[in-house]
Chains A and B, each alone.
Chain A
Amino acid sequence: MRWPSKKRDADLERELRADLELEEEEQRERGLPADEAHFAARRAFGNETLIREQTREAWGWGWVERFLRDLRLAARVLVKSPIFTISAVATLALGIGATTAIFSAMNAILLRRLPVPDAQRIVYLMVPEGQPSGASNTGDSDSSFSLPVFEALRDNPAFSDVMAFAPLSTDKVDIRVGNDAPEQASGEEVSGNFFSGLGVSMPHGRALSSEDEEHGAATAVLSYAFWTRRFSRDPSVIGNTLFVKGIPFTIVGVAARNFPGVEPGAVTDFWIPLQRRVGLSPWGNSGSLYSSPDWWCLQLIARLAPRVTPEQAVARVTPAFRAAAFADLKTPVREQEKLNLVLSPARGLEGLGDYDAEPIRILMALVALVLVIACSNVAMLIVARNASRESDFSLRMALGASRHSLFRQLLAESVLLVFAGGSLGWIFALFATKALASWARIATGLTPDGRGLAFCTVLSILAAGIFGLAPLRIVARAPVTGGLRTASGSSQRRGRGGSVVLVAQVALCFTLLTSAGLLLRTLLNYEHTNLGMQMEGLLVFGISPQHASTSAERSAFYRDLLDRMRGVPGVESATLMQERLGSGWSTNDEPTVDGVTIPFEQVPLRVNDVGPDYLHTLGIPILEGRDIADSDTAASRRVVVVNETFVKKLLPRTNPLGHQLGGFGDPKHTPFTIVGVARDSKYRSVDEAPRAMAYYPYAETGDAPATMQVELRVHGNPLAMIPAVERAVHAMDANLPLEKPMTQAAVFADSYSDQRLFARVAAFFGLLAALLVAIGLYGTLSYRVSRRTGEIGVRMALGAGRRQVLGMVLLQAFRVAAMGIVAGVPLALLCGHFMGSMLYKLEPTDVATLGGALIGVLLVELAAGWIPAWRAARTDPMQALRSE
């Protein structure tokens, strides 16, 4: 293609040359002087370039060549103005990249399905109303079912398969491989049809079977990720032994590589069949699954039978579901009908639904605003730049360039800009998505996938369309002769359209700054919330005595452990608790005070089984009475310590000491006598409201927990104590790992890690928006000042001072800011309204935040306006007038 065209070009060149020379000769022969003949010939010929171009087109390859030539020219032009090019490409890259990253995250969380065959037939079973009263649950009240319910549903013909699963612990469980050191992994016990029902293939070994479930077989399947991480993909691992809580399991298979498990947003390391034995109860509970029919602890997932819609399935299984749910509870039928079964489509991270989807939608909205700012910015940059090239265009048109070719060149520049911006944006999105996944702790990993790419491409094309059209206006209007004169008359008119965009940008920037401010202040509120205890110097870790099978044995273990901990040099005091503070977990109960049970709906009672010196170790002030002590044992009188909210709500206007609290909803239990009142402190998380709280001595409840959290108050850096503490624990049992040792402060800090993430992302977007708006405003103001040089020169010649000129330009910036803020306040309030649920101790109409955003916008305007204003003020009137 190149060769013949080149030959033809040379041929045409030669032909034109020959004919032109002939024309010149003829003119000379007619008697014209040589130089005049030369010009007369050229005049007669007309526009040679145009002839060449049009003739080339006759051969049909014109458009490809033209396109390549346009691109080459565009590239040269862009390289010549690096500041414009860099800012436009960077703006586009940031806009497109940030949007793609957020879209990919949202895509993964909201749209992607489980990686199993025919995934649209898979549903999660949900009970939005929660468990029937009288049954206990796990905290995931809307997704938990009892074993009898599972048994009743599993054979229903509406489903091809119903699979049950439950974690072995609230977090990770102690495991050991062969004689290696003990470690922790996340395990689930599942029904025998778990893998076959979902359709998960086994690259190695076999899946769990119904026989495995029936016999509670000691078999285990590893996830591919765990197999890779722990066993380096050693195929001979099949048949080896995996100790789970000290109990040997035989590894029988490895699950498909792309199957992370069905736990929302988490990766499961191994699966075992549902277990009958005590000690392997779901959620680390001390009982056993099969002995607790009222315990709703299993999550259910089902595959719809062929040609059965979810609605039909619900209708068919509801009677069986209600019958099983209320089997042992004498609940009236009217009440029973309030319990509904709901099928929700199974998506990989479905469980993140309520918890994370809302903030992600808000982040998506924020990033969309950033994108709008970025796109309008680039459009304005291009328009302003092309406007300043107007005389250049006019000159070229006067020299014979067609409007068409100018337009093509501008389009080529836009295409190059968008292509460069889009490619960079994609690279940026790769990193941003990775960062987002690790910030958000979505362990299954996020990658910008095909849909993200498609999204990015569509955005780029849209941007190309918009920016391609922007220069069209200029070219269409460019007057051939008018542009050659000094053009200053039309600047006012053009200024108006630009101002609207600027005002809109400022409004969006204000909104983003407000959102960022609200989230940052929320984060500060989290950080500065008084937790009600002395946070410094606290170390916490979990421990699960594997060889203590009875409550008495466990109590003895914990007593021994506490003594040893107190003996570790550097430990000031030590205590125990069942639920780790700040972990998000809590135990709850209905309070029975002096024999009267108060409904949970009125006063929900939070409880924690704790060790001696609890209040002292944590630094929670004692208001009345005493702390739990070493002397409170199974043999002594049963005692309990409550908090001030408990007293306020349940024992107001009386001395609480000596009153009786009968626990566990069981009147047969001996009540506990209140011996102390503690100040309120945080339990589950930083942002919880004060609730009535009871601290029971674990030794007196008759059921010492299977896992306890050890809390140590130490001198110096708590984490530096870990090796010494570990040695002391291993002196008791070499198989026991310290479970998630960390400072207590870090536990609470982790409890608002999502809020930290949102605040960071929003702050990033806010700063990005401010930067983009500053760039846009700077570009526009500079351009306007350069167009008004003559006018400014006249003003100065007539006596205007530098300060007045400076003020005049800055005033323009601040007028834009003022209008933008007026437009931005309602938008910001609306945005804040939607963010209400994400805020802590803060109203969406927070005046300080709005004020901060206002100052931020003014600073942006000042920074962007200062340089053009200063340049305008330095205008030399004489020079300006001369150039006019």
Chain B
Amino acid sequence: MSSVKKQEELQRANLLQGTLDMLILRTLLYGPAHGHQIGKHIQRTTNDFLQMQHGSLYPALHRLEKRGWVTAKWETAPDRNREFKYYRLTEKGRKQLVVEESQWKQMAEAVARVMWPAAEEG
């Protein structure tokens, strides 16, 4: 039982590899958000299929910040009377999102062509 579950987690983790940056950038397209919100948003949008790993999320956020695709600022949350570190998409980040999106699309199409050749013909 536990081994099956472990395998499932592994699949999810693999899925996230390399695409996490894109998902974060895409999420930030809606507007500034803090780490917790970003993680929750991805999790919720995928119906909990992508279990957010904090161990990957924060390094990814800081990596994006270092590359200048996002900026960060401490701001007070509207619903809680406390400051959170809000990430905001930069112009450079927007461009990067376009690049990653098209790459992902190509990749997905390529994979699909191999996996379901009949569907392509039909």
Q: A: which residues have CB within 8 A of B?
A: 11-12, 14-16, 18-19, 21-23, 25, 44-47, 50-51, 54-55, 57-60
Question: What is the CA–CA distance of A840 and B54 in the complex, to the nearest angstrom?
Answer: 78
List 5 A–B pairs whose Cβ atoms lie within 8 Å, in order of A's numbering.
A12-B62, A21-B82, A54-B59, A58-B60, A59-B66
User: In chain B, residues 17-71, which have Cβ atoms closer than 8 Å to a Cβ of chain A?
Assistant: 34-36, 53-56, 58-63, 66
Q: Is B83 an interface residue (CB 8 A)?
A: yes
On chain B, the residues within 8 Å of A15 by CB distance are 34-35, 58, 84-85
B33 CB to nearest A CB, Å:
11
On chain B, the residues within 8 Å of A18 by CB distance are 34, 36, 82-85
Q: Knowing A19-B34, A19-B36 touch, does A47 contact B55 (C-beta < 8 A)?
A: yes
On chain B, the residues within 8 Å of A55 by CB distance are 58-59, 61-62
CB-CB nearest in chain A for B36: A19
On chain A, the residues within 8 Å of B34 by CB distance are 15, 18-19
Q: Knowing A12-B62, A58-B63, A59-B66 touch, does A19 contact B35 (C-beta < 8 A)?
A: yes
On chain A, the residues within 8 Å of B6 by CB distance are none
Q: Is B5 an interface residue (CB 8 A)?
A: no
- Is A12 in contact with B58, judged by CB distance below 8 angstroms? yes
On chain A, the residues within 8 Å of B55 by CB distance are 46-47, 50-51, 54
On chain A, the residues within 8 Å of B62 by CB distance are 12, 55, 58-59
- Is A58 in contact with B59, judged by CB distance below 8 angstroms? yes
CB-CB nearest in chain A for B51: A44
Question: What is the CA–CA distance of A16 and B36 in the complex, to the nearest angstrom?
Answer: 9
CB-CB nearest in chain A for B38: A19
On chain A, the residues within 8 Å of B83 by CB distance are 18
**What are the 9 tightest A-B residue pairs by CB atom distance, in nearest-first order?**
A19-B36, A58-B62, A58-B63, A54-B59, A15-B85, A55-B59, A55-B58, A58-B59, A45-B54
A410 CB to nearest B CB, Å:
24
On chain B, the residues within 8 Å of A50 by CB distance are 55
- Is A57 in contact with B80, judged by CB distance below 8 angstroms? no
- Is A16 in contact with B58, judged by CB distance below 8 angstroms? yes
Q: Knowing A11-B85, A15-B85, A50-B55 touch, does A22 contact B66 (C-beta < 8 A)?
A: no
- Is A22 in contact with B36, judged by CB distance below 8 angstroms? yes
On chain B, the residues within 8 Å of A57 by CB distance are 59
Question: What is the CA–CA distance of A18 and B34 in the complex, to the nearest angstrom?
Answer: 10
Question: What is the CA–CA distance of A18 and B82 in the complex, to the nearest angstrom?
Answer: 8
On chain B, the residues within 8 Å of A16 by CB distance are 58
What is the number of residues of chain B that contact chain A, defined by CB distance less than 8 Å?
20
Question: What is the CA–CA distance of A60 and B61 in the complex, to the nearest angstrom?
Answer: 14
Question: What is the CA–CA distance of A638 and B85 in the complex, to the nearest angstrom?
Answer: 118
- Is B59 in contact with A22, judged by CB distance below 8 angstroms? no
Q: Interface majority SS on A: helix, strand, loop or mixed? A: helix
CB-CB nearest in chain B for A60: B66
On chain A, the residues within 8 Å of B53 by CB distance are 46
A125 CB to nearest B CB, Å:
72
CB-CB nearest in chain A for B82: A18
Question: What is the CA–CA distance of A58 and B59 in the complex, to the nearest angstrom?
Answer: 6
Question: What is the CA–CA distance of A23 and B39 in the complex, to the nearest angstrom?
Answer: 11
CB-CB nearest in chain B for A16: B58
CB-CB nearest in chain A for B53: A46
On chain B, the residues within 8 Å of A12 by CB distance are 58, 62
On chain A, the residues within 8 Å of B61 by CB distance are 55
Question: What is the CA–CA distance of A54 and B61 in the complex, to the nearest angstrom?
Answer: 11
A649 CB to nearest B CB, Å:
95
Question: What is the CA–CA distance of A23 and B54 in the complex, to the nearest angstrom?
Answer: 12
B51 CB to nearest A CB, Å:
9
Q: Contacting B80 at CB < 8 Å: which of A22, A46, A47?
A: A22
Interface centre among A18, A46, A47, A60 (most CB of B within 10 A): A18
- Is A19 in contact with B59, judged by CB distance below 8 angstroms? no
B84 CB to nearest A CB, Å:
5
CB-CB nearest in chain B for A19: B36
Interface centre among A19, A44, A45, A54 (most CB of B within 10 A): A19
CB-CB nearest in chain B for A44: B54
CB-CB nearest in chain A for B63: A58
Question: What is the CA–CA distance of A51 and B63 in the complex, to the nearest angstrom?
Answer: 13
CB-CB nearest in chain B for A18: B84
Question: What is the CA–CA distance of A47 and B57 in the complex, to the nearest angstrom?
Answer: 12
A54 CB to nearest B CB, Å:
4
Question: What is the CA–CA distance of A585 and B63 in the complex, to the nearest angstrom?
Answer: 83
Other 17 A-B pairs with CB < 8 A, given A18-B34, A54-B56: A12-B62, A15-B84, A15-B85, A18-B36, A18-B82, A18-B83, A18-B84, A19-B35, A19-B36, A21-B82, A22-B80, A25-B80, A44-B54, A47-B55, A51-B58, A55-B61, A58-B60
Question: What is the CA–CA distance of A636 and B105 in the complex, to the nearest angstrom?
Answer: 126
Question: What is the CA–CA distance of A16 and B84 in the complex, to the nearest angstrom?
Answer: 10
Question: What is the CA–CA distance of A60 and B59 in the complex, to the nearest angstrom?
Answer: 11
B101 CB to nearest A CB, Å:
23
Q: Contacting B36 at CB < 8 Å: which of A11, A23, A51, A54?
A: A23
Question: What is the CA–CA distance of A46 and B59 in the complex, to the nearest angstrom?
Answer: 14
On chain B, the residues within 8 Å of A46 by CB distance are 53-55
On chain A, the residues within 8 Å of B82 by CB distance are 18, 21
On chain B, the residues within 8 Å of A14 by CB distance are 74, 85
CB-CB nearest in chain B for A21: B82
On chain A, the residues within 8 Å of B59 by CB distance are 51, 54-55, 57-58
B9 CB to nearest A CB, Å:
12
User: In chain B, residues 70-117, which have Cβ atoms closer than 8 Å to a Cβ of chain A?
Assistant: 74, 80, 82-85
B115 CB to nearest A CB, Å:
32
Interface centre among A15, A46, A47 (most CB of B within 10 A): A15
- Is A58 in contact with B85, judged by CB distance below 8 angstroms? no
On chain B, the residues within 8 Å of A44 by CB distance are 54
Question: What is the CA–CA distance of A44 and B40 in the complex, to the nearest angstrom?
Answer: 11
On chain A, the residues within 8 Å of B54 by CB distance are 44-46, 51
Question: What is the CA–CA distance of A58 and B82 in the complex, to the nearest angstrom?
Answer: 27
Question: What is the CA–CA distance of A12 and B80 in the complex, to the nearest angstrom?
Answer: 20
Question: What is the CA–CA distance of A637 and B44 in the complex, to the nearest angstrom?
Answer: 130
CB-CB nearest in chain A for B64: A58
Question: What is the CA–CA distance of A775 and B36 in the complex, to the nearest angstrom?
Answer: 57
